[in-house]
Chains A and B, each alone.
Chain A
Amino acid sequence: MTQAFDAETQQAALETRVQQALDQARQLGADACEVGASVDQGMGINVRQGDVESVELSRDQGFAITVYVGKRKGTASSSDTGEASVRAAVEKAMDIARYTGEDAAAGLAPADLMAQHFPDLDVHHPWALSTDEAIEIALACEQAGRQVEGITNSDGASLSSGEGVRVYGNSHGFLGGQCGSRHSLSCMLIAGSGAGMQRDYDYSSERDPRALASPESIGARAAERTLRRLGAKRPATGRMPVMFEPTLAAGLIGHFLSAIAGGSLYRQSSFLCDRLGETLFPDWFTLGERPLERGAMASSPFDNDGVYTRDNVFVAQGRVASYMLSAYSARRLNMETTGNAGGARNIRLDVPLASFEELLSRMDRGVLVTELMGQGVNGVTGDYSRGAAGFWVENGKIQYPVEEFTIAGNLESMFKGLVGVGDDIDTRGSIHTGSWLVNEMTVAGGQ
């Protein structure tokens, strides 16, 4: 069960198709148009209880065209990049543009902002892996976890490996393409029984398979994370400091980025509307993006408008230094695009770091949160209330696991109340951060 994938050939074929679609749209009367297309291929393996559970081979295509007729626009997409489907999509988009209302902000990004340089960002590392080899890796990962004393059941281990090509072109004559790969290995285990059962997981995800954590370390870490949750109690209700594990701290940064995203701002649905230049974080906190970092998860020389990407600083010494804008949202706000159509790329912090133990010690008494649940974040007001699980901390040391409680506050006061950032930086996603210690939130648990 293997499939061949020649990324360069695929890229050339997609570029041809994108160019054809742009030409067709112009012939049909579009004043401007833009096309995105992608092909992805991959393999997904699940093993459980020492045996294969499923093997999945995937191959996905996508194609979307937006046409502009005057100030009206229409969009059509298809999961087929064949010539006939593309032609039908172009016609459908033109048809839709007859009905939509005029939008003064509609249109492509300015031509002079199109990316000119396409450096190799080292993000394409195919993994020549047979199904059998993949199964062996996943089995080794699960086994390393299952053999740990106290692990009673397994939700299995999964390996996924994929690569793909995306191409974007528009009627300015811009045509950009990029190949990329992503490989992940994860393991989820169960400990305890009956009402005391707990599960947790660990994973590794990389552009380059050689950088993946070893199967054994992932399995062992999943076991450790699962076992440490056994015997959880409910914490007392009250106001106290809260520390967020790195993956969860990255989530807080995600809420901040949503709030400075152009779409939220021009819709007036952000608690950070009209707050540019104001102090939101402590003065030692600086946050920006590195879209051209080699080998990173979200690297790209151009954004979804074809605009060149650059190292933006969104928070400088605690102040909101820049919004995060696409060409469209920038026009809606009478500003300039920041090359962020499609979002932020590789968020990095520039802050003093403390060790994990030092942060615990500074917290003294409170909760360390290792899991968050539910959607209780209101981007319009910044109100925050989510389900959580983690550990009770007293005298600066972890005491016992806690669960079935909520943490609540407001993002603005949480950002202002950021006490420190840990050096335990998680580099698996596109946002890199260590743990965050927030001075005070309301914990709702038992009596």
Chain B
Amino acid sequence: MNQQTADISAHHALAHAEATLLAPGGLSLASLDAGLEHALGPGVDFADLYFQRSWQESWVLEDGEVKDASYDIDGGVGVRAMAGDKTGFAYSNQIHAEALAETGKTASGIARRGERLKAAPCVAGRAQDRYAGIDPLSGLSVEDKIAMLKEADRVARASDPAVNQVSASLSGVYEVILVRASDGTLAADIRPLVRLNVSVILVRNGRRERGSAGGGGRFAMSRLRDEKAAERYAREAVRQAQVNLEAVDAPAGQMPVVLGPGWPGILLHEAVGHGLEGDFNRKGSSTFAGRMGERVAAPGVTVVDDATLPDRRGSMTVDDEGTPGGYTPLIEDGILTGYMQDKLNARLMGMAPTGNARRESYAHMPMPRMTNTYMLAGQDDPDEILKSVKRGIYAVSFSGGQVDITSGKFVFAASEAYLIEDGRITAPVKGATLIGSGPEAMGRVSMIGHDLELDAGIGVCGKEGQGVPVGVGQPTLKLDELTVGGTQS
């Protein structure tokens, strides 16, 4: 996209946000300066207004019928006032002049003495669109949405008589945001987000196992239909459950681990991603604090956070402070080169914001957060990687992970994994948890596949109680040693 079309779509987003968010309450873009003034109390050196409205629907199929459906409307304005490293925050689910005055005054109470600053004249941000500014819920009839879920049910039940339960859900959010900050920022974004999930229970010989699959991104729901997502995820969920029905107990102890491409990139999200968020490093609470320019991973390991990927779940045209979404190298060839920053932490650390400020909603304060985090492809052939392992684990899907950023210890729980014996994939093993220490584990990456994949679009990242959609990805990877938490010691 060239600069001219970027300007046109930014203008479209602003006009749309003004009409959707501001006009109903009698406000306009021009009136926001007055709103900002309330937050710019004595001693306040930065303030911003974040307007948001979201429309969400979800359809859930169980027992072959869509029996549950819901629709949710949320919206309001969040106001921040900052003085140095202090933040005052208030919000309202009403968007009108009175609410701006009340929340602005409340937030500005964080500082009580000092100069009263004027907001800088606003400069509409220029950011390239990373997805179409559309309402993803329209363009597909209710009948079509229901038909998609019924198709998932039909395909799942037809693929194996052991299928006992099928649940499928389709959800979409249409969100419009607008940011006006005292540093001159004015930006708007229209963010579609859709997701389809299929989960099955198979029962065979008295044994019961679950399988699930799903995906989505920032695009119209109709794309899920056009790409036959229901059929694909139904088959994938049944396949995973079939594998798990055959699974044996996982081994316990230290051994080589090969991670498949795509969703296992959750390793990077936990092992390094959180530890490279600006706030933890400014506060010195991350195991990566003060290690800029040092080796924190094996040579060949390059990890980036990338909000610019088209239509991805974690992508952002602008972040929640109005900074354009960026491509931020975090680790290059094993050397720590970058942190993810919002405005506050960037300013306090003397760095530039990287477009990583995110918030769950207007009712939450923004923080440095990941977008799409992945490792770039290496040179190795995935088959050769498996062949190099005498005895170990090959994990291809995970149910989630967690990290203690201070000690660097991370875990992630496998939902589909296999034994590797003499270079060959053999028996599937029951969900083992893998545990390691971030920098140590990254130092043990010995082979990197040429098969970079991104996940299908299902990730939700939680931090300090706030959930945001994220993406992960990686090529096939070999870690020479990781602890596998099975039961067979």
Chain A residue numbers with a CB within 8 Å of B164 are 268
Are the C-beta atoms of A96 and B430 separated by less than 8 Å? no
Chain A residue numbers with a CB within 8 Å of B143 are 99
Contact of B89 among A56, A79, A380 (CB under 8 A): A56
For residue A51, give the distance in angstroms from its CB to the closest CB of chain B.
7
Interface positions of A from 341 to 362, Cβ below 8 Å from B = none
For residue A48, give the distance in angstroms from its CB to the closest CB of chain B.
7
For residue A31, give the distance in angstroms from its CB to the closest CB of chain B.
16
Flag the segment in A58-66, A164-172, A204-212, A426-434 that touches B: A58-66
Chain B residue numbers with a CB within 8 Å of A237 are 252-254, 489
Flag the segment in A217-225, A252-260, A299-307, A399-407 that touches B: A399-407
Per-residue contact bits, chain B 246-266, to A (CB 8 Å; 1 contact, 0 not):
000010111000000000000
Interface positions of A from 181 to 233, Cβ below 8 Å from B = 190, 194-195, 197-199
Query: A-side binding surface: helix, strand, loop or mixed?
Result: strand
**Contacts A51-B86, A76-B71, A99-B142; is A385 near B413 (CB within 8 Å)?**
yes
The answer for the CA separation of A119 and B172 in the assembled complex, in Å, is 42
Interface positions of A from 75 to 104, Cβ below 8 Å from B = 75-80, 85, 88-89, 92-93, 96, 99-103
The answer for the CA separation of A89 and B365 in the assembled complex, in Å, is 27
Chain A residue numbers with a CB within 8 Å of B146 are 99, 101
For residue A199, give the distance in angstroms from its CB to the closest CB of chain B.
4
**A contact residues, total (Cβ < 8 Å):** 79
The answer for the CA separation of A77 and B71 in the assembled complex, in Å, is 6
Asked if A375 is at the interface (CB within 8 A of a chain B CB), the reply is yes
Candidate in A74, A387, A404, A407 with the most chain B CB atoms within 10 angstroms? A387
Asked if A418 is at the interface (CB within 8 A of a chain B CB), the reply is no
Chain A residue numbers with a CB within 8 Å of B110 are 52, 54-55
For residue A232, give the distance in angstroms from its CB to the closest CB of chain B.
8
Are the C-beta atoms of B486 and A442 separated by less than 8 Å? yes
Closest to A388 in B: B435
Per-residue contact bits, chain A 272-283, to B (CB 8 Å; 1 contact, 0 not):
010000000000
Chain A residue numbers with a CB within 8 Å of B167 are 267
Closest to A97 in B: B69
The answer for the CA separation of A442 and B430 in the assembled complex, in Å, is 14
Are the C-beta atoms of B413 and A376 separated by less than 8 Å? yes
Are the C-beta atoms of B67 and A78 separated by less than 8 Å? no
Closest to B401 in A: A374
Interface positions of B from 210 to 231, Cβ below 8 Å from A = 210
**Contacts A77-B70, A237-B253, A442-B252; is A404 near B409 (CB within 8 Å)?**
yes
The answer for the CA separation of A73 and B60 in the assembled complex, in Å, is 12
Asked if A381 is at the interface (CB within 8 A of a chain B CB), the reply is yes
Contact of A378 among B66, B88, B410, B431 (CB under 8 A): B431
Chain A residue numbers with a CB within 8 Å of B485 are 376, 385-387, 405-408, 442, 444
Per-residue contact bits, chain B 155-196, to A (CB 8 Å; 1 contact, 0 not):
000000000110100000000000000000000000000000
Are the C-beta atoms of B365 and A387 separated by less than 8 Å? no
Are the C-beta atoms of A444 and B365 separated by less than 8 Å? no
Are the C-beta atoms of A375 and B68 separated by less than 8 Å? no
**Contacts A106-B67, A408-B432, A447-B254; is A56 near B402 (CB within 8 Å)?**
no
For residue A139, give the distance in angstroms from its CB to the closest CB of chain B.
13
9 tightest A-B CB contacts, nearest first: A406-B485, A387-B411, A101-B65, A374-B411, A376-B413, A444-B252, A376-B433, A1-B109, A75-B70
Contacts A74-B70, A374-B412 given; 6 further ones with Cβ under 8 A?
A58-B90, A74-B69, A198-B406, A375-B400, A386-B411, A408-B487
Q: List 18 A-B contacts (CB under 8 A).
A: A51-B86, A55-B88, A77-B71, A78-B72, A78-B73, A78-B74, A101-B66, A190-B406, A376-B411, A383-B431, A385-B413, A386-B413, A389-B409, A404-B435, A404-B483, A405-B435, A446-B254, A447-B253
